[in-house]
Amino acid sequence: MLCLLLAIPPFNLLAQPPAPHVRIAQGELVGGVTNMGPYVFKGIPYAAPPVGPLRWHPPQSPASWQGVRDATKFGPACMQRHSGHISASAMSEDCLYLNVWTSNLHPAIPVPVLVFIPGGAFVSGSGSQPVYDGTNLAMRGAVVVTINYRLGVFGFFAHPDLTAASPHHTSGNYGLLDQMAALRWVRENIAAFGGDPHNVTVFGQSAGASCIGYLMVSPLAQGLFDRAILESPDILFTAAPELRKNFDGLTSMETIGLAVAPHISDLQGLSDRDLMTRANAAAEKLLGPGGTGRSRLRPETTLNNPNAIQVPWAPIVDGYVIPAQPAKLYAERRYLHIPTMAGTNTDEGNLFLSHYHPDNTAGFTAWVERNFAPCAKTVLAYYGPSSPAQAHESANRLITDAVFLHSTFLFARDTHGFLYRFSHVSPRGAALGLGAFHSSELPYVFGKTHNPLIPYKPVDHRLSDEMMTMWIHFALTGDPNLMNSSDWNRIGSNGEINYMDFSDTPTVKSWPDSSLITFSDPHVCKSNYFASIR
């Protein structure tokens, strides 16, 4: 009997599914199995490492490999300032990797593909952050991809030397080119994971959402994706710096590049960390108090910290990747005409006001006059606090509308997309007094409401399930509507506007706020954050 027992493998070994193998154009991969069942393939290179002579070059094709490549560990995050999300040891210039979650490598019918572009103000973030885990969306019938792309000075640095060396006479939008390379990789390889290469939805949050808005007006991105979901885009409809000339008072990106170094050869030999230090210090000197330059306006930063330096590293108008100001391209309907969905959270601004605790209204008024001239009186008429106790909430509402709702509304209006607002207050938002703050929808979109460290309730689980189902239904059909939301329509060409309110119970509502529509009229308010160039 003992010999018989020894011959029987332990039950957990019998229950362990075999490691999944996939063959793509570059070679064979072996992935892992998540605790909930779907397969995951991590750290797949979609481009050659952008290091050495490839620093500040468009992404090049990835190398092939012999044998089986281990795809059970995430690749490094792209270089960025250290944060609580990503340790310094987990960063590298060699960072152009993506990750794939799938529940079935060989479905009878290929399933829709969801490609997520992470946020982080174009200077931080990674597709490997835990909140972006694609397991739960994959369980509901999608192949989910998360990507890295070059950030900060590595992704959005322009210089006359780089422009002169480019066959397209441009520099500066390497992060956007990385995203296009990843989407191209998806088109060519995702069928091996059970995904439909002809049904790719790109979705992103914050800077990732803004990147999608830029991709939609780039001729180079045409044909790389079929639908788009933008969660809380910010700078898409404000004036963008241009490559060679000052625009709307914004210093050209080549001028900023020259402030970092007169010749690109002065930078190529620097280590990644030394380069970040030098570039950020030079930009701060040029753009900070006493400097001669001016960067893109970020009013949420200046309100919370008047001494903060505006970071210049973000997409620019270079005449090639982005041919003209995005607001102009959208107004002229020069964008990818595909189904779209876009939304914001009702308390976006609170996350950026951790140090703003006013005891008078004078500071708020001065900030509005400085940031929203020449229409400060109009802004104060809508948002001015009636008492010092209301100043923080007034700031939250104004930043929410000016920075996030402005771009979201105009994008949805111009593309005749589906509009939503996320108003549900998560347990974390309630505990911190932040309401439905910036990024608080992410755990619901990715099905992360079963965290034992956060006291989520049944209402949170239900809302997450409904949102995941709508996101996948949109990816499948171009329409998020289910039986309980059949009144949620696209913004129409004749001006009718409704939106989905993701509160405790998702409900379709009519557009309630006339202030943003008023500010979107350039005859009423023409400023950097309201209809600056429309």
Grouping H, G, I as helix, E, B as strand and the rest as coil, residue 116 is strand
In the residue annotation, 348 being an active-site residue is answered as: yes
DSSP category for residue 315:
-
The Cα diameter of the chain in Å comes to 90
Dist. CA 251–CA 402, nearest whole Å: 22
Q: Hey, which residues does 230 pair with through a beta bridge?
A: 204, 342
Cis peptide before 388 (omega within 30 of 0): no
The helix (H) or strand (E) run that includes residue 115 is strand 111-117
Rounded Cα–Cα distance for residues 226 and 147 (Å): 17
Q: Which of 159, 424, 438, 473 is catalytic?
A: 438
Here the tokens at position 105 are: 């490598």
CA separation for the pair 183, 190 (Å, rounded): 10
Q: From 507, 509, 502, 423, select the one nearest 463 (Cα to Cα).
A: 502
- To the nearest 10°, report the CA torsion of 17, 27, 74, 274: 170
Whole-angstrom distance, CA of residue 299 vs CA of residue 304: 9
CA distances from 424 to 181, 203, 233, 346 (A): 36, 20, 19, 9
In whole angstroms, give the CA distance from residue 348 to residue 396: 7
Q: Tell me the three-class secondary structure of 457-522, residue by residue.
A: CHHHHHHHHHHHHHHHHHHHHCCCCCHHHCCCCCCCCCCCCEEEEECCCCEEEECCCHHHHHHCCC
Q: Dump the DSSP string for 24-60.
A: ETTEEEE-EE-TTS-EEEEEEESS----GGGTTSPPP
Put the strands of the sheet holding 27-30 in their side by side order: 21-24, 27-30, 68-70
CA distance 140 to 473: 10
DSSP structure class, residue 255: H
Token pair, residue 94, equals 């060699």
Give Cβ neighbours of residue 166 (< 8 Å, ≥ 6 apart). Answer: none
CA distance 461 to 429: 16
* 438 annotated active-site: yes
Q: Which one from 348, 394, 423, 426 is the annotated catalytic residue?
A: 348
| Amino acid letter, 472 | I
Catalytic residue among 206, 426, 464, 515: 206
- Residue 354 among the catalytic residues: no
- Which residues form the catalytic set? 206, 348, 438
